[in-house]
Chains A and B, each alone.
Chain A
Amino acid sequence: MTLSKIFKNSLLVLTACLVLSACATKKEIASDIKGSMQGDVYTGTDTVEYLAEGVPDRVFFATNESILTTASRETLRAQAAWLRKNSGINVVLEGHADERGTREYNLALGERRANAAKDYLMTYGISSDRITVLSYGKERPVDSGSNPLSWSKNRRSVTVKAN
């Protein structure tokens, strides 16, 4: 692409923006999504519930990933502290995937995500006897939307009281 072409293209985009007032609204939506996602990991609090004050019940994952983000590890440390204080409580870790994957692979992926959370809780002193892992794959989304933000809320591991 020559320089003049690039220049022409950017000029075109600029004019388009000036003409279409919709440009502004679109930008707002885009920054909204950005505000509650980092990369494609959900960072908002829309769907989050609390096991106790300051103890969020869920962590979120990137597409096809089961790696815990810094925020997820913080959440899980809070859960571990709460579990140590409440030694009578057992938990089920429910692993989920978004709808953009084949059903069987997503069942395995949900299990892998919940296990990532379980492993982390165990490194903070929670016995594996107190933790059950259950994968729902893509069967139980919290958000029924077909867009990146909805999918990011659905890629999750939720810690649920078992007793």
Chain B
Amino acid sequence: MIKKIITLFLILIPINSFALIEVDITRGNLDPLPVAVSPLSIDEKSRKSFNKMLNKDNIGEEISNIVENNLRTSGLFNPLNKEAFLQAPDIANLKPRFEDWNLIKAQALITGKVSHVDKKLRVEFRLWDVLAAKEMMALAFTTVPNNWRRVGHIISDKIYERLTGEKGYFDTRIIYVAEEGPKTQRIKKLAIMDQDGFNNKFLTLGNELVLTPRFNPTSQMVTYLSYFKNLPRVYLLDIETGTQEVVGDFPGMTFAPRFSPDGKKIIMSLAKDGKSDIYTMDLENRIVEKITNHPSIDTSPSYSPDGKYVTFNSDRSGYQQIYIMKSDGSDVKRISFGNGLYGTPVWSPRGDLIAFTKLHKGKFYIGVMRTDGKGERLLTENYYQEAPSWSPNGRVLIFYRETKTNDKGEGFTAKLWSIDLTGYNERQIKTPTDASDPSWSSLLSN
């Protein structure tokens, strides 16, 4: 499904790149950059043929809407109201009248054009610096028309990257657990959707309990826990073919799976005789290795991006705390020492931070700490929330949050939320049903 069907041409690289706008993403951005997203212009013939094909009246506007929405939800940009735009989209794309865009306080302008070429969708777009009156970037894509949403996400990523200096996270998907029914008999299914909540699809039927899906590095495979035949075991699912298989042949419950950064191994816990230890299984030669060996509960393992270390959750000190070790299990070191219990450590794709869930005085927090345990920062507090997962650029965390029920045990909901690493820009991600255990894919177009 995630084939490289999108070809990319570089039309022009700006030679002169000094004094152009830049967005600092390392601080909470209370003053998002005003941008004007001029609707992608489209000739009448192309508009009509795409209308027939995709049932969208104006595909140019639809794609711009995706870009606008992505930029807005990032919290770093403030897309301006289109009604204030003075210049027509097709003319703006040729040569913007910068005075006009300056007048409405736009600092960046995005223009572009959509056309129907050889049964394909061709999209070109330009990013302009309004104050410097310069073109910052110009790119064109050709793809199958059905891919139009992805084109919107890829454009968003290119703009984000050009303006922040870091890779974007818009052309990505979220795998999660869709939930329905009463709390005591919850029905759970694996589901997948685009990062912005569109193209939602259920991957299992809900006949058995499923939990904690996680992508492999190429985002084509998923490892998760299934209670198929009442035997809780780690499974592997190929998203494209729908093939599922149990991982290994273990004498007890296997759970808490994740892929190694090279995608060759699965690291997970095996619970047996009242203790849980961490194991790996090589997916090629099926060799199983025991990584921890302790009478305590050792679970929620997560590799460092270079694969040399593993962070995990253990109660060997008496309570749930976060540890790191070398990936062969040596040099185990506790890193969480604050008040409360710590769980679900996840290593950042940038390598410098570990995200976690913290339970303290009846509240749940999502937070981050450095890999030596120093610099703990709590990003959000709530009645119940857990399971952070990193955006591929390491700037945003997605997690799930549950509500407290009333005296009669009613009113339970579970929803997905995201928050910037800065602690700003907390927002709910809309899902068709209740949702939990989100896992963010890698960038699909890289």
Contact = CB atoms under 8 A, between A and B. Distances in A.
B46 to A, nearest CB: 49
B359 interface: yes
B208 to A, nearest CB: 11
A115 B184 contact: no
A154 B335 CA distance: 31
Interface in A108-129: 108-109, 111-112, 115-116, 119
Interface in B178-192: 182-186
B294 to A, nearest CB: 12
Contacts of B405: 144-146
Contacts of A143: 184, 409
A141 B183 contact: yes
B181 to A, nearest CB: 11
A135 B252 CA distance: 10
A109 B408 CA distance: 27
Contacts of A139: 186, 209, 211
Interface residues of B, number: 47
Contacts of B410: 144
A104 B252 CA distance: 15
A102 interface: yes
A77 B275 CA distance: 23
Given A119-B274, A135-B232, A141-B183, A104 B253 contact: no
Contacts of B50: none
A109 B269 CA distance: 12
B344 A101 contact: no
A104 B255 contact: yes
A101 B359 contact: yes
B97 to A, nearest CB: 56
Given A101-B343, A102-B344, A104-B344, A111 B183 contact: no
A141 B299 CA distance: 22
B211 A103 contact: yes
Contacts of B230: 134
Interface in A124-163: 133-135, 139-147, 150
A8 interface: no
Nearest to A107: B255
A144 B407 CA distance: 10
B198 interface: no
A99 interface: yes
B256 A66 contact: no
Contacts of A141: 183-184
Contacts of B320: 101-102, 105
B184 A144 contact: yes
B9 interface: no
Interface in A61-77: 64, 66
B135 interface: no
B256 to A, nearest CB: 4
A84 interface: no
B409 A111 contact: no
A147 B313 CA distance: 26
Report the 10 A-B pairs with minimum CB-CB distance, sorted nearest first.
A115-B274, A144-B409, A102-B343, A144-B183, A111-B271, A108-B276, A146-B404, A108-B297, A104-B256, A145-B409
23 contacts: A102-B300, A102-B359, A102-B387, A103-B386, A104-B343, A105-B297, A105-B315, A105-B320, A108-B276, A111-B253, A111-B276, A115-B274, A119-B274, A133-B252, A134-B232, A134-B253, A140-B185, A141-B184, A143-B409, A144-B409, A145-B409, A147-B407, A150-B409
Given A105-B299, A144-B409, 8 more contacts: A101-B320, A101-B343, A102-B313, A111-B274, A116-B274, A145-B408, A145-B409, A150-B409
